[in-house]
Amino acid sequence: MTLELFPRESSAPKEGAPLADRMRPRTLEELVGQSHLLGEGKILRVALEQGDIPSLILWGPPGTGKTSLAMLVASHVKAVFIPFSAVTSGIKEIKEVIAEAERRLRGTGQRTILFVDEIHRFNKAQQDAFLPHVERGTITLIGATTENPSFEVIAPLLSRAKVLVLQPLAEDEIVLILSRALADMERGLGRSRLQAPPEVLAAIARWANGDARSALNLLDLSARLAAAAPEPGVLTAAITQEAAQHRTLLYDKAGEEHYNLISALHKSLRGSDPDAALYWLARMLASGEDPLYIARRLVRFASEDVGNADPQALLLALAAKEAYHFLGTPEGELALAQCVAYLATAPKSNAVYAAYNAAKADVASAPADPVPLHVRNAPTPLMEELGYAEGYKYAHDYESGYVAQDYLPERLRGRIYYRPTNRGLEAEIQKRLAAWRRKA
């Protein structure tokens, strides 16, 4: 099945258009990647063959083909394709597009596919404006987003659309795209006769990190530099390195990738894997995360997951935060790395975390009983007369500084929240508590 995206007579590249735009696939066969959606028998391929396209939310990283897919879909079902930017358009423009779509549907029966790029940038009211028209079939909505639709797209719209997840392109897939661009005489760089060794194309693909657009942009800039090089027409690793300058990692400090990476760091620490933890720390710092945010999470981890198995962990985490605050980047990053390595290799216990949560649950659900009289202070004669502090046993008056005594309200007496593990210092704490509880 060949799906034409553009008529042949209009397939010439637009003058001055970026290479990535000129090389946009015109048929399904030219589209690289996303075989989990477009392979034989897969969901989008079947929908295209049947010509029955529901409203879609295309979710994936930049440069994975979301816009190209939407255009291919519109071409195949012979629908009018209306690109719509959530950055520059609002409800007024939505109403105009919908009115035109209704006239077209009544007049010629032709469908309208409204493609909304960066749909996550629309607020709730703007997204609501699509609902009745998607419901009635006035338009087929295809939204593209790099953010998790669960958080960024309203539930009623999600229930009326099928979410398709696009994956980052593999290295060999990007190399194929680059090779096509180098060979294409009409839209690509074929006329330049640029020679590019396979290892250079592979290096560009690795740099692009699954983003075909970034890869093509880098190839385009590298080709311009190569044309002015002492040995023109040959693409070298040095030229591509100069064009790349530095790698931009996918990251959004307010979006899902932020939470994915901090989760990976936290779970690597909990799993006692210092190598993985140091990698995720480096990824977050290279991506531009606030180092003090990371430091705060390390302090939290020291209490939540190490706890009293190694009380030094909390001190070191606080010291790392202060060291970074004092030194800044890049010197202070080493203190964070030291802390990460320590936390990953420390004995682990969430006993304090679990105990505190259990105590909070009792506070929330049980009646707020009064403090037992014997553990209250009695600074006045009246309070003494009322029985404040009566019967209180002063622990230091007893051998080993311990005496069995109830401190909880009567309703909660006997409740045990803190159950230390047998790891690290908590093993000693466990023995101590067991001995005291036997005396109770």
Angle between helices 291-301 and 256-270 (to 10 degrees): 40
- Which DSSP category does 318 fall into? H
**What is the predicted pLDDT for the residue at 250?**
54
3-state secondary structure of 274: helix
| Helices and strands (H and E) in the chain: how many | 21, 5
Query: Which domains are present in the chain?
Result: 34-165 (3.40.50.300), 171-244 (1.10.8.60), 256-345 (1.20.272.10), 368-439 (1.10.3710)
Lookup: tokens for 230: 């002492």
Which amino acid belongs to residue 147? Answer: E
3-state secondary structure (DSSP) of residue 81: strand
DSSP annotation of 363: H
Structure-derived torsion over alpha carbons of residues 123, 126, 131, 133, reported in degrees to the nearest 10: -150
- For 91, the token pair is 């409800």
Non-local CB neighbours of 234 within 8 Å, separated by 6+ positions: 194, 195, 226
CA torsion, ordered 101, 106, 110, 116, to nearest 10 deg: 20
226 Cβ contact list (under 8 Å, min separation 6): 194, 232, 233, 234, 235, 236, 239
**Residues with pLDDT less than 70, the chain:** 1-15, 86-89, 246-256, 440
Nearest to 420 by CA among 362, 339, 347: 347
For residue 42, the model assigns a pLDDT of 86
| DSSP H or E segment with residue 427 | helix 425-439
- What is the predicted pLDDT for the residue at 255? 60
Question: Of 424, 259, 429, 274, which is closest to residue 343 (Cα–Cα)?
Answer: 274
pLDDT tens digit sequence for 74-125: 888 888 898 887 666 677 777 888 888 888 888 888 888 889 888 888 888 8
Q: HSE, CB side, 13 Å, CA atoms: give it for residue 335.
A: 23
DSSP state of 186: S
The Cβ of residue 123 has, within 10 Å, a number of other Cβ atoms equal to: 11
**How much is the pLDDT for 254?**
54
pLDDT at residue 319 in the model: 96
* Residue 54, CA distances (Å) to 3, 76, 180, 388 in order: 18, 13, 32, 73
Distance CA 403, CA 79 (A): 83
Q: Which residues of 240-249 are buried (b: 16+ CB within 10 A; e: fewer)?
A: beebbeeeee
Scanning 237-350, the segments in alpha helix (DSSP H) are 237-244, 256-270, 274-286, 291-301, 312-327, 331-345
Q: What local confidence, expressed as pLDDT, does residue 87 receive?
A: 64
Strand, coil or helix: 102: helix
